[in-house]
Structure 1
Amino acid sequence: MSSAAVAAGKPVRALGDVLAMALDALVIMFTRRFSWREAVQQAWFIARVSLVPTLLVMLGFTLLVIFEVNLLLKDLGALDLAGGIAGIASVQQIGPFVTVVVVAGAGGTAICADLAARTIREEIAAMQVLGIDPIQRLVVPRMVAAVLVSLVLNILICAGGLVGGFFFSVYLQDVTPGAYVASIPLFTGIPEFAVSMFKAFVFGLIAAVIACYRGLTVSGGSKGVGDAVNQAVVITVAVLVPVSLSISLVQFAVL
């Protein structure tokens, strides 16, 4: 087999390995015991390092989108729909995507670095020799933690986006408070919020799986650890874009 064919097959094998690890982790998550104490500790760590960046990015993205869209609505004479647009922006799109980008950038890098350091020090190999499953002991708690934090942060971003959009629209762009609140249910309801939470669940799962996979497959010493951390974030963002688009297309087709 030529070197070009081998190189072309590496991404396919990596994708298969990631999917296999994700499937194993999901089976273990629902059928076998794992360390909830480890999951809570990891969730607290991810939340602690992700909360402030999430709020800052959320405010920037939400206010920028609301400002631009409100200018268009004002030209069209439909500024009373500002609340509905804020709901679409924060709940359906910005909330889950910003959540997982920050979780992957802050928490995912820490997860990847921790597992990569363990792999380089051959701790993972030692666990396997002792009959301890690294996926059950290390991967599953981190996946649970990432998903829980993603769901909580998504709720926070959705609420913060609506509240921030209210103050921005009412006090800076002369939208009446009653019109802002009344227009929110026109575009955003329980089904849209459920889809947003589903996105946050899937995105958090993807971020954790990719971070864990790169941490467990690292090679090349300390330089390999740094490369794995950078690759985990880049790959996560690259994967989330088509996944988010696919979920949105299904949502628009069904709802």
Structure 2
Amino acid sequence: MQWAAGYWRDHPRRSLETFGRQITMGIQAIAELFVDIFKGKFPFNEFIKQCGFMASTAVAPTLLVSVPIGVIVSIQVGSIAGQVGASSFAGAANGLGIIRQGAPLVTSLLIAGAVGSAICADLGSRTIREEIDAMKVMGVDPMRRLVAPRLAAAMLVSVLLCGFVCFVGFLTGYMFNVFAQAGTPGSYTSTFASFAVSGDLVLALIKSVIFGLLVAIIACDTGLNTRGGPGGVANSVNSAVVNSVILLFAVNVIMTQLYNTLFPAKVV
């Protein structure tokens, strides 16, 4: 009972401390990113290395998730559209479902699960080996040398993954609708073009940038504050992934609601 009472008394305080620390680190990392780019001191070699690492880590899982998502959306949308006699609108519903929600959600899960865990494990291992302390002693700023390049790489890779999911999801839905559900290519593409506007894609890409930023901040902060040896690295990775997924889903709901409020759908 005493442990439980102490946990519930101290946990909110520790959560607020972690949240404040992550906000501070995020602001500092973004400032370092822009200042270094402006001064020509940005470590592009580390940035390119991290982009290649993140892309190689996340592309294959993204492809394997995007195809089933496109098929599932096509099956559900095609079934409902057929029941109400609106099978010609399957392209519009499928496209909107994938671009507005499917692509950002898949991107958030893959970024948090693949990229975020890799960042946290890398920095956590460096922390418990005291490499971060050694860098500080030698006058090397970890924020500039390690965090800023990973922040920029995560945002870039997240945008590319979101566009990749949109393309694969649309292509999968199109092929499944035409070849498996006896749909017509013309109706699928025409209804898709009528209902899906460029703002939907822009919203998805903006979401992906924010998702990549949040995942990188959470993963870097958790990795740099790892304690407890190898077991602490495992706990940090688990914490980073869980916190990232919860936060990204909440941010996705907020951004979707704001977009629907500020830019309501027009009647075609």
TM tier, smaller: over 0.9
TM-score normalised according to structure 2 size: 0.92
2:174 to 147, 152, 166: 166
Are the aligned partners of 2:121 and 2:234 in contact in 1 as well (CA < 8 Å)? yes
The total of aligned residue pairs comes to: 254
| 1:254 aligns to 2:251 (yes or no) | no
The 5 A counterparts of 1:140-179 are 140-179=148-187
Residues of 1 paired with 2:12 and 2:202: CA distance?
38
Runs (4 or more) in structure 1 with deviation over 4 Å come to none
TM-score normalised according to structure 1 size: 0.96
The CA deviation string for residues 70-125 of structure 1, in whole angstroms up to 9 with x for no partner, is 10011111111111112112211111221231122112211111100110011111
Deviation at 1:208, TM superposition (A): 1.0
User: Residue 139 of structure 2 aligns to a residue in which SS?
Assistant: coil
| Further displaced range: 203-212 or 241-250 | 203-212
The CA deviation string for residues 168-223 of structure 1, in whole angstroms up to 9 with x for no partner, is 01111111110000011222111111101000000111111111111000000000
Residues of 2 paired with 1:87 and 1:42: CA distance?
32
Aligned to 1:24: 28
Aligned to 1:107: 115
| 1:76 aligns to 2:76 (yes or no) | no
Aligned to 1:63: 71
| 1:227 aligns to 2:235 (yes or no) | yes
1:98 to 90, 99, 106: 106
Identity of aligned residues (%): 36
Deviation at 1:5, TM superposition (A): 3.4
Query: 5+ unaligned residues in a row in structure 2: which ranges?
Result: 264-268
Residues of 2 paired with 1:5 and 1:166: CA distance?
53
Residues of 2 paired with 1:7 and 1:241: CA distance?
22
Deviation at 1:11, TM superposition (A): 0.3
Residues of 2 paired with 1:228 and 1:53: CA distance?
22
Query: 5+ unaligned residues in a row in structure 1: which ranges?
Result: none
User: Residue 22 of structure 2 aligns to a residue in which SS?
Assistant: helix
Are the aligned partners of 1:62 and 1:89 in contact in 2 as well (CA < 8 Å)? no
Aligned Cα RMSD in Å?
Answer: 1.2
